[in-house]
Amino acid sequence: MPSEQNVADQDLGSAPEVVNLNLPSEYDTSPEVLHTFGSEHGLRDNQNESYQNIGREPPKGKIWGMKRKTFMIMLGIFILLIIAVAAGVGVGVAVAKAKNNNNIVSESAQSEPRVTGTSSISSSPTPTPIRNDTPLAAVGWNTSNIQLLYKHTDGSIRLQETEGLGWGEQSPQITKPKDDSGLAAIGWLEGSVRQVRVYTVGGNNSLKESSWNSTGNLWYDRDIPIALDPPAAGSYLTAYTWFIGQVRQIRVYYQGQDGYIREAAYDFSRGWVKSAAPTIQSFPRAKSGSGLVVVSFPDTDVSEAKLFYQNMDGKLVSYDYQLKATFAQSWQNQDPTVDHGSVPDGTHLTAVAGTLTTGELILRIYFIRDGKLVEIWWTQKAGWVSWNMHDAAAPGISAVYYSGDVYVFFQDKTEYLSAVGLNGYLNKWQFTAII
């Protein structure tokens, strides 16, 4: 990835803006304005009526004291003048409308990203029974088939799912992890069968995996059956999956009790195995309670990934992976002089990567800061840019990406699961208050 620039904060405002497509007030569409013609008939009726009222007939051969021929010439000139004026007004309105439309297109093309609309909230929305500080984990197979996982108020992991016709009811318990457990999830397709793996920390302080597929539609729990260093209290979890040749790989990351990041590895041909890291210090040491998120690049190189974390100075940095012959060659520390700005201690992180309609690579990172949902995004052309997307009431956050579209899930209000979605083709964000 090309060299990165420091974040330049650009607060574009938290309140969603609604585009007003109504005609400006100066375009009066009332019947009085639209009725321009038909005045000649009215004038004649009034004139005849005036003669009748005074008991005399109108003079023969003359109209209003003018010869009929002279009157008809003057009337023709008058009608031509009316037509010319009406045509001029019509052209003026058309030009004004065209100018208005051009201004809208220009503004849309030149402005920074923003949330352009909000959906309405039902009159009596029912809050989802979730913990205020719950982590969130979302998996998606396309833009209309997404599962969103979270902690119920009883501490169990539950989910809500959409298949394009709205969000369904809350699921029964999937698993019940340790109270301060993190939450990570991955999903993929095997033919038409949807697969999901959810990672948590169990009561014995070991990593657990919960498995589901759309064929059986049942969840299965198990401890990851290898000796792993125990995670630090409250450690965040993050995971991703890809192929090496024809063999699916899974990696799960967490923070060890000494602060160093740990890796649990799964190879479909061998099962769970120890990380290839030669020493504990092969992975970086993160600030205590650091958020963690690993992001892969499905549109460019599925074997490439970036692991974002908070370093000891509180900066958001990455540890970068690209498959090479050895571990040391595959994992590289990013240039230590490059960071993505300060993030709140212990903040939840989520990230996605994809391509724009121009084919340009874009990386997007999300977190909550000072009650705002923040996006920092990178392209080679723009460098790093930061903006506040929306108000947020809780730290949990998760995002999914599919074919240019992005969905970011968070709590707009306590216990209200909300989302902002990006239509990649139109490059417009839409806020959904309750899902």
Kindly report, residue by residue over 16-49, the tens digit of the pLDDT: 333 332 323 333 333 333 333 333 333 334 444 4
Answer whether residue 1 is part of any domain. no
User: Scanning the structure block, which residue is given the tokens 């709590």?
Assistant: 411
Residue 80 pLDDT > 80: no
DSSP state of 342: B
Say if residue 191 is in the same domain as residue 284: yes
- pLDDT range class, residue 410, cuts 50, 70, 90: very high
Domains identified in the chain, total number? 2
Q: Spell out the SS3 assignment of 57-83.
A: CCCCCEECCEEHHHHHHHHHHHHHHHH
Query: What value does the mean pLDDT of the chain take?
Result: 79
For residue range 295-317, list pLDDT tens digits in order: 999 888 888 999 999 999 889 99
Does one domain contain both 146 and 277? yes
281 by Cβ neighbours in 10 Å (0-12 / 13-18 / 19+) ranks as exposed
Residue 183 pLDDT more than 90? yes
- Does residue 53 form part of some domain? yes
Three-state DSSP state, 410: strand
pLDDT recorded at residue 72: 72
pLDDT band at 248 (very low <50, low <70, confident <90, very high): very high
Q: Over 60: is that where the pLDDT of 87 sits?
A: no
Residue ending a domain, among 53, 76, 110, is: 110
Please list the alpha-helical segments (H only) found in 54-144.
68-110
Is 406 domain-assigned?
A: yes
344 lies in the same domain as 400: yes
Q: What's the pTM?
A: 0.73
Mean pLDDT of the 365-378 span:
96
- Across 44-58, 132-146, 190-204, least confident range: 44-58
- Sign of dihedral through CA atoms 47, 52, 53, 58? positive
Among 90, 110, 130, which residue terminates a domain?
110
Residues 167 and 98 in one domain: no
Domain region containing 64: 31-110
pLDDT of 325 over the 60 cut? yes
What contacts 335, CB < 8 A, 6 or more positions away? 3
What's the whole-number mean pLDDT along residues 251-268? 96
Same domain for 236 and 359: yes
128 and 106 in a common domain: no
188 vs 334: which has the higher pLDDT:
188
Q: Are residues 210 and 292 in the same domain?
A: yes
Which residues touch 208 (CB under 8 Å, ≥6 apart)?
A: 175, 177, 199, 200, 201, 202, 221, 222, 223, 224
SS3 content of the chain, % helix, strand, coil (to 5): 15, 40, 45
Please tell me whether residues 94 and 207 are part of one structural domain: no
Backbone angles phi, psi at 43, to 5 degrees: -65, -45
**DSSP string computed for 175-243:** B---TT---EEEEEEETTEEEEEEEEE-TTSSEEEEEEETTT---EEEE--S--PPBPTT---EEEEEE
Pair 289, 406 in one domain: yes
Rounded to whole angstroms, the Cα distance separating 312 from 339 reads: 12
Winning range, highest mean pLDDT, from 40-49, 70-79, 117-126, 161-170: 161-170
- The rounded percent of the chain whose pLDDT value lies above 90 is 56
Query: Is pLDDT of 222 > 70?
Result: yes
- Please check whether residues 355 and 420 belong to one and the same domain: yes
Q: Are residues 44 and 167 in the same domain?
A: no
Same domain, 133 and 43: no
Q: What is the mean pLDDT of residues 232-260?
A: 95
384 domain residue, yes or no: yes
Residue 277 pLDDT > 70: yes
Nearest in space to 263 (alpha carbons), one of 309, 229, 313, 286:
229
Assigned token pair, 161:
């799912």
From the CA atom positions of the chain, what is the Rg in Å?
Answer: 33
- Tell me the C-alpha distance between 89 and 94, whole Å: 9
